[in-house]
Amino acid sequence: MVCGDLENNLDKMRLWNMEKYMRLAIEEAKKGIEEGQTPFGACIVKGGQVICCSHNTVWKDMDITAHAEINVLRKACKKLNTIDLSECEIYSTCEPCPMCFSACHWARISKIIHGARIEDAKQVGFNEIKISNELMKKLGGLKTEIIADFMREECLELFNLWSNKEDKKSY
């Protein structure tokens, strides 16, 4: 029985940590919204340590590729001085678009944890290609672990927060 309790406590601890990391991504997205950006945030974690977090800066940088995931991958590669992020996980407030999923693949991210779905972003006005990460994983024969809909409601709330802004801009 002690072993079962220990496993249960470890599972609770893992879940608590995952929630902590996703909350960091959510806070990054909120910062971006406050700065006139879009409602997307991401956080990279390696071995239980937060490497960096970022939000979308498409409008600030006038760079259509400046998605939260791309920004956080760039930061993590510079901070770790490598393009191999195989021991890292990414927490994203929304399912990565095909560009961002591909970048995660090329960086060898081991696990993608996301909240909202691509179709949710499309519903609030973003010009998304509705190809799920699971389909890209299947078509590419990839081993990347994907945890979908994690803290989905909290992540969907970011779309509401952004949608209520008078000066919001999608792409």
| DSSP designation for 170 | -
CB atoms within 10 A of CB 24: 18
153 in catalytic set: no
In which residue are the tokens 């997307």 written? 40
Tokens representing residue 4 in the block: 């079962």
Give 69's contacts (C-beta < 8 A, 6+ positions apart). Answer: 40, 42, 90, 92, 96, 100, 103, 104
Catalytic residue among 19, 34, 35, 69: 69
What region does 99 belong to: left with phi over 0, alpha with psi -120 to 50, or beta? Answer: alpha
Give 35's contacts (C-beta < 8 A, 6+ positions apart). Answer: 55, 60
Beta strands in 11-166 (DSSP E): 41-46, 49-55, 88-94, 111-116, 145-147
Which are the catalytic amino acids?
A: 69
